[in-house]
Amino acid sequence: MLESGEAAPEIELRNQDGDTVSLPEAGTAVVYFYPRADTPGCTAEACSFRDTWAEYESRGIDVFGISDDPVADLAAFRDEYDLTVELLSDPDGTVASRYDSYGEKTVFGNTVEGVFRNTYVVRDGEIALAYEGVDPEDHAERLLADIESL
């Protein structure tokens, strides 16, 4: 995991609409990595950000969800659940790797390469908070409270 105070790696990925999106240089952003769109845990996490979106937006906090799903799958995921965050496609795991959020893991007894469920809060280009293996159900609410304490 990256640690507080480290420079946040650059992000330049296509979103659910196919537009290129970059991490802002100033301000606060949440960058959360999730393994697969439209699976139970990832859906719960995305919906928790949707349900708290007004609170993030009112504080000027950008939220980016990153997976290795193709753009078309992200668009379908957004549409199915009325998601409000930017969903970014990292098909080869390059950005996730820079954030120590991609690699070998065990899924249903099989060893595979994929995205880890990690989250970073980036403030003015630096890592402010880092979370490994978060609980997708209430992550967005807990994160807001932690951001408030910064």
- As annotated, the active-site residues are 42
Dist CA 120 CA 130 (whole Å): 5
